[in-house]
């Protein structure tokens, strides 16, 4: 059985997150940008025997933003992305994110977590998960605060 630890991300994780981020995304973020993201919000990291397996970064606010979620290729398919997303969602209610059109696997994971497509921009879907007991519909203004 694989030993993995998931915990809150700190400043000392910025370099490892950046190293993984640049392997996962065409627009990978450098360590200073990751550090800025961590200080503007919060994140979680998952570490296994091979090092950093995954991470999630969140900017809190009235409409929170999951700015990054990434899982190392060798650690995929085991529910790690879902677990990291669940930790992030436990800390926010009304939240959005973007997912590229060509990342159907992630899009399905977000839909199963309650996200709905509300817009599209530059090759990506904008998805939103409304707070519980909200009557917002997919046709409502995606940028308006739900009450």
The pLDDT assigned to 129 comes to 97
pTM of the model: 0.88
* Residue 146 pLDDT > 90: no
Q: What is the pLDDT of residues 49-83, one digit of tens each?
A: 989 999 999 999 999 999 999 999 999 999 999 99
Question: Could you count the other beta carbons within 10 Å of the beta carbon of residue 62?
Answer: 9
Beta carbons of 89 and 129 less than 8 angstroms apart = yes
- Binned at pLDDT 50, 70 and 90, residue 137 comes out as low
Q: What is the pLDDT of residues 90-122, one digit of tens each?
A: 999 999 999 999 999 999 999 999 999 999 999
Q: Where are the domains of the chain?
A: 5-129
Residue 131 and residue 114: Cα distance in Å, rounded? 10
Q: Which of 35-39, 56-60, 129-133 has the lowest mean pLDDT?
A: 129-133
CATH of domain 5-129: 3.40.630.30
């Amino acid at each position: 059985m694989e030993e993995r630890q998931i915990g809150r991300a700190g400043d000392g994780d910025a370099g490892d997150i950046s190293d993984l981020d640049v392997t996962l995304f065409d627009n990978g973020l450098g360590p200073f940008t990751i550090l800025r993201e961590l200080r503007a919000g919060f994140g979680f990291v998952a570490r296994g025997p091979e090092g950093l397996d995954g991470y999630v970064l969140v900017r809190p606010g009235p409409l929170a933003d999951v700015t990054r979620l990434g899982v190392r290729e060798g650690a995929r398919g085991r529910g790690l992305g879902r677990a990291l997303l669940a930790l992030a969602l436990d800390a926010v209610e009304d939240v959005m994110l973007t997912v590229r059109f060509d990342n159907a696997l992630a899009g399905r994971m977000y839909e199963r977590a309650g996200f709905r497509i509300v817009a599209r921009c530059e090759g990506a879907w904008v998805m939103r998960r409304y707070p519980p007991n909200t009557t917002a519909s997919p046709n409502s203004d995606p940028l308006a605060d739900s009450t």
